[in-house]
Amino acid sequence: MDSQAPDKPTLSELLKGSALVFVVQFLAIWPSHAAYLVLQDEGNMLEWASRLNQGQLPYRDFFMRFMPATPFGLRFFFLALGEQIWVARLYFMLSLSLLCVVVWLVSRCLMPRWWSIVPPLMFVAVGGQMFPMAVFHWDASIPALLALICSAYFTEPRQQLLAGGLAGLTVLYLQPRGVAVCLALAVMVLAAEGARFKRLAYLVGGAAVPGVLFVGWMLWRGIFGDFWSQAILFNVLEYKAVQGYPFDWGLATNHFQTLASGLSQFGNPTLWGWLVWFVRALAFAGVDLVKYTGFFPVLVVFTGVFAVSLRRNEELAASTRSLLLGLLVLLWVSAYFALARATRYHFNFLTVAWYPVLIYLVYWLQSLYPRLGRGLAACVAVVFLTHGIDNVIGWGPYRYPIVFPRGTLYATNPQLARATQRLSDVLTEQFQGQNLFAFPELPQLIWLVGAHNPTDFESLVPLYYPEEALQKAERQIRAADRCGVLFLSTAPSVRGEYPNMDPDLYQKEEAKLLERLTKGAHKVAEIWYYRLYRFGPEGG
């Protein structure tokens, strides 16, 4: 593995390239900025940031199994610009665009100018379209990748303080990503030549600064015990048992079966319509092959090739070698955590490190077999670009408005838009500024209508939360003044999304929980598939 070292970029190139990548990612995701997406992840973030604005503390005043950095970041946007949906979406888009810049910086450290364009292009096309889902995964990747760059290119021991500080900050965004980057940095430092333990000491010292400040703050506010039970023990004991999902090795086979069956429909109903379908399906299959099905086989091959090159002492710039080593460790450790819920969707969060490593492998291949390497790069670029264009176009049908007190969003279905507008009107009239709990997974609606959740929980999923949590939520609902309860069943999605759950048992438990939480309440409305209840006198 002795491909030509990348030319050293000038400051002007870095600034111009960063600005260009940022703008491209921002423009690519802009069509989705007002899409109506009923997402628990986004709803959680909106509610958590809003609670922080009200002076509530995470872990003590509301349940949160994640780290607090992203909600605090969004909270500052709310403080500056107000609690509106466009402010939240702006935060998410800026964060995603900044991450795309960091992906390009990693790629530019490894490869020449034109090759380094491919990984961020892949991210814009696929990863950058995963919006605004699980934004804490994206936020955590920014300091994680910057930490690897700093450790690889800042050779003085004291300079490892910065890499360590970024690693510590990563932990405050997302626990698994923080663990992965800390291990990656430790391996990078110990594998480097000269002053290994001194560099490691500075690295640990840098990482300890955010950790000590965070733990000190929790001890001062008396919430360390709550943090430990929610952000650590709950994830270790409950998450995989309920949300576990096996790696889908048959996904590629399913794609190719779909393509094969489509070939038999050649020209039906029209040649142009069939051709558009086939190109979209082929690009979709290719993307999943690159980022999911082929992930482990290619990662194993690359790790083996990299290990052999180190044993043979092949020429490779020390910074490049160190950065590649860090990326490989980051990927392996992150993949271990991702296997807890190994859906193709969750593996998107590994692509920020995976795409640079994959394209570097292709770049190395072209130094040995120029036509093969360039051909592979061209195929990957065309497949991802085609899928990316399809993704951007896919936001077009979001054109039917739904007006909420905190902003207007757009749906793809006019019937859904009309029904949700009726629901918004009812919720706004009766619960704006009032107590409202929505479950199993509807925190976004509470925030959009400006209602107040009187419980500690943004969601309450049967078979996921322990009995103590259900009891606490029930007590808080009944103690709140004329609290409303909004329900939308998630039972239809359980069979495909949560294989560890018995769908029939889940449906029964969901019905029992609904009856339990609304006992003594009267039904206010039934709109679309939503059911709305309220405690207190009818019409009062």
Report the distance separating Cα 78 and Cα 488, nearest Å: 28
User: Over 60: is that where the pLDDT of 165 sits?
Assistant: yes
Confidence tier at 171 by pLDDT (50, 70, 90): very high
**Residue 412: per-residue pLDDT:** 94
Question: Residues 21, 99: contact at Cβ < 8 Å?
Answer: no
Our measurement of the distance from residue 109's CA atom to the centroid of its chain's CA atoms, rounded to an integer in Å, reads: 25
Average pLDDT over residues 196-222: 95
Compute the distance between CA of residue 379 and CA of residue 394 in angstroms, rounded to an integer: 22
Averaged pLDDT, 476-503? 90
pLDDT the model gives residue 71: 93
Q: Comparing 16-25, 30-39, 355-364, which segment has the lowest mean pLDDT?
A: 30-39
Q: Is the pLDDT of residue 37 over 90?
A: no
* pLDDT range class, residue 131, cuts 50, 70, 90: low
Please compute the mean of the pLDDT values over residues 218-232 and round it to a whole number: 96
Residue 498, pLDDT > 90, answer: no
Within 8 A by CB and 6+ apart from 390, the residues are 280, 283, 284
Q: Where are the domains of the chain?
A: 11-241+248-287+302-393, 400-534
Q: Tell me how crowded residue 307 is: count the other CB atoms within 10 A of its CB.
A: 13
Looking at the whole model, is its pTM more than 0.85?
A: yes
Q: In this model, does residue 491 exceed pLDDT 90? A: no
The tokens of 222 are what?
């008396």
Residue 540's pLDDT is 53
**What is the residue-averaged pLDDT of the chain?**
91
Element (H, E) at 108: helix 85-110
Tokens 């807890």, located at residue = 340
Asked whether the predicted pLDDT for residue 4 surpasses 60, the reply is no
CB 485: neighbour CB atoms within 10 A?
A: 21
| pLDDT tens digits for range 330-381 | 999 999 999 988 888 889 899 999 999 999 999 999 988 999 999 999 999 9
The 10 Å Cβ neighbour count of residue 321 is 20
> Which residue's entry shows tokens 């590629």?
252
Q: What share of the chain is helix, strand, coil (3-state, %, to 5)?
A: 70, 5, 25
Among the listed ranges 73-77, 237-241, 523-527, which one has the minimum average pLDDT value?
237-241
